[in-house]
Structure 1
Amino acid sequence: DPLLEEGLSTSCVDVGSLRSKLLALADNLGYIGASIYVIDGSTRSEHSNAFCMGFGRFRTICLFDTLLPLMTEDEIVAVLGHEIGHDRLFHVHTRLLLGIGESFVMFFALGSFLTSRAISSAFFVPEPKVYIGMMLFMIVWSIVEFVVNIPLTMQSRSNEYAADRYAVEAHRSYGPLLANALRKLTKKSKANLTPHPFHAFL
């Protein structure tokens, strides 16, 4: 896959029970014709992950090589169900559109801070100046970004729950398998399994 060749070493998942289970799940969930690759993530970090990308006949399922010894085959299949859920529920598309919208607003605001006499006057600067406009924009945008990130984080968390539900609805047995897999991923990443609600909110 040319998208995976640059900067990443990949190999096709060998024919076997894991490949058969992954393809069976993908076909069952409408993710038909996907290629399955293992990425040599262990050469860069111990982080474990899996993701899906592409569309139509260009669909690709990627597993980090650190994922394979960490989980059982059924747990990996459950994780794939979660990742396919993100695709089928259009979470990636939504985040992409939100990112484009955020970039548009950011550059529009930056242009206004650099050129608007009204904005510069509001900060007691008689004439718009590039270096002052940049400094003011960075201060104001850092506050705006902090506030905007709260609902974005809430949406991201909601998407994760929705992808979990999608995987469980695909096969009831995936519930405990996915829960166990996510616990393993969290411990492997040295993340907090029980964060404070306020920290999770932010």
Structure 2
Amino acid sequence: MTDIRFTFLFLAALAVTFTLRLFLSWRQMRHVAMHRAQVPAEFAHSIPLATHQHAADYTLAKTRLGIASGVLDAALILAFTLGGGLQFLWSQAARFDLGPIGTGMLFMVLVSAISALANLPLSLLSTFGIEARYGFNKITPRLFITDMLRGMLLSALLGLPLLALVLWLMQGAGALWWLWVWLAWAGFSLAMLWLYPTVIAPLFNRFQPLDDKVLEARVTGLLARTGFKSQGVYVMDGSRRTRHGNAYFTGFGAAKRIVFFDTLLSALSHEEIEAVLAHELGHFKKKHVAKRMLTTFALALGILFVLALLLASPWFYQGLGVTEQTHAMALVLFFMVLPLFTFPLTPLSSLLSRRHEYEADAFAARESGRQPLISALVKLYRDNAATLTPDPLHSAFYDSHPPAALRIAHLKGLPA
């Protein structure tokens, strides 16, 4: 392939992705606005009209912000590639004469820093604009800055050594460098699964053992019935940052933890919390977590193999507006443009995720009853201002969870 042909291919992928994102956003906004005036019949007895309209307006505001984010993403990609941004940043990093690995690391840090700064206004608008306007944000400017600085420091402490290892392997591991890099990344990912619940997450939130003895007894009984072992059940102070409620599992092996947001515990009854927990347990019992992990590892191996094929191809660099044919440049270019070519495949991962949600719902219905889960879901849709009327195409493309109406109908159709 020639560099000119690849330039046109890149621009075509960018145009298709950008247009598709705009089209889906337009459909979502139109569909939500059209159904704003009336609560769907199946939710009319549990969701007030004012709450439904609040959720619709919240969805519209987030979708508009998503459009702005899409425009910014496209502009950044063009500025970095054909606009000469990456070439300029490489020339600045090379002035310090840090050697191939040091120069590559500095170059990638500069790219990341500029990207983060460019996205900061939208992050501020989301947190202190939309989330605050619709009653969800509770984070203070001071805590926002503290979180950002902690995140940057953590990224440097964990990410820079990994990046140095990757560049070192690319430089000295021979033709199979991509396999060694994959092994290093896989090992790092598994280590993070172990470190996150015990070391990383406590840097940002407080985790306390569940002290509600009645609820603890229900949880213990559910864990015993399902044969699930964990390190403990914890309550996280999610209310420091948001009014959204959530629950999740984290870690693996002996480090597995069950975590409830304090906001979720205050919103649901004990039997509803048990049902939500049963749903999360369903993901483990159905091996969804392991399947997703294996899929991610397999895709990463394939992606690194493709990068290895492109590494020595001048048209790949020149077609994207750069002349420096280095390992660091290849990494940045590849992972910058890869989403443009894979974006049309997004519905496949969304479909798989929704199937897993249905399976987890069915598991929860068997273990804790379908009605408590239905009741919990309705409350979560209401309290999190999740739209009850998403556009079907937008939902099929993006949503990892089934739309509310379909999910509730599926639960009602399960055996009592």
- Shorter-chain TM-score bucket reads 0.7 to 0.9
CA contact (8 A) 2:278 2:363 kept: yes
CA contact (8 A) 2:238 2:261 kept: yes
Cα 1:150–1:46 change in 2 (3 A) is: same
TM-superposed CA distance for 1:106, in Å, is 2.8
Describe how 1:82-161 pairs up with structure 2 within 5 A: 82-117=279-314, 120=316, 129=325, 135=333, 138-139=336-337, 141-161=338-358
Q: Determine the C-alpha separation between the residues in 2 that align with 1:70 and 1:121.
A: 53
Query: SS of the counterpart of 1:66?
Result: helix
Cα 1:124–1:78 change in 2 (3 A) is: closer
Q: Percent identity?
A: 30
* Residues 19-57 of structure 1 deviation map (CA, whole Å, 9 limit, x = unaligned): 111110111111145511101111122221112234555
CA contact (8 A) 1:10 1:38 kept: yes
1:197 matches 2:392: yes
User: With CA pairs under 8 Å and 6+ residues apart, which has the higher RCO, 1 or 2?
Assistant: 2
Aligned with 2:360 (options 163, 169, 177): 163
Cα 1:14–1:116 change in 2 (3 A) is: same
Aligned with 1:182 (options 377, 385, 397): 377
Match of 2:228 in 1: 31
**Bigger strand fraction:** 1
1:71 matches 2:268: yes
Instruction: Give the aligned residue type for 1:199.
Output: H
Match of 2:239 in 1: 42
**Bigger helix fraction:** 2
Instruction: Give the aligned residue type for 2:371.
Output: P
Q: Determine the C-alpha separation between the residues in 1 that align with 2:347 and 2:325.
A: 32
Q: TM-score of the superposition, structure 1-length normalised?
A: 0.83
Instruction: Give the aligned residue type for 1:198.
Output: L
* Residues 64-90 of structure 1 deviation map (CA, whole Å, 9 limit, x = unaligned): 101011111110000000000011111
CA contact (8 A) 1:113 1:137 kept: no
Match of 1:2 in 2: 198
Cα 1:190–1:109 change in 2 (3 A) is: farther
Cα 1:136–1:84 change in 2 (3 A) is: closer
Q: Determine the C-alpha separation between the residues in 2 that align with 1:120 and 1:109.
A: 12
Match of 2:160 in 1: none
* Residues 70-124 of structure 1 deviation map (CA, whole Å, 9 limit, x = unaligned): 111110000000000011111111111222222233333334333225x549969
Q: Determine the C-alpha separation between the residues in 1 that align with 2:332 and 2:229.
A: 48
Q: TM-score of the superposition, structure 2-length normalised?
A: 0.43
CA contact (8 A) 1:116 1:128 kept: no
Q: Determine the C-alpha separation between the residues in 1 that align with 2:300 and 2:225.
A: 37
Cα 1:38–1:133 change in 2 (3 A) is: closer
TM-superposed CA distance for 1:162, in Å, is 0.5
Query: SS of the counterpart of 1:14?
Result: coil
TM-superposed CA distance for 1:198, in Å, is 0.7
Report which stretch shifted further, 102-111 or 16-25: 102-111
Unaligned residue ranges in structure 2 (runs of 5+): 1-196, 398-416
Q: Determine the C-alpha separation between the residues in 2 that align with 1:55 and 1:124.
A: 41
Q: Determine the C-alpha separation between the residues in 2 that align with 1:12 and 1:22.
A: 13
Cα 1:120–1:89 change in 2 (3 A) is: same
Cα 1:128–1:108 change in 2 (3 A) is: farther
Cα 1:187–1:120 change in 2 (3 A) is: same
Report which stretch shifted further, 23-32 or 51-60: 51-60
Q: Determine the C-alpha separation between the residues in 1 that align with 2:365 and 2:206.
A: 32
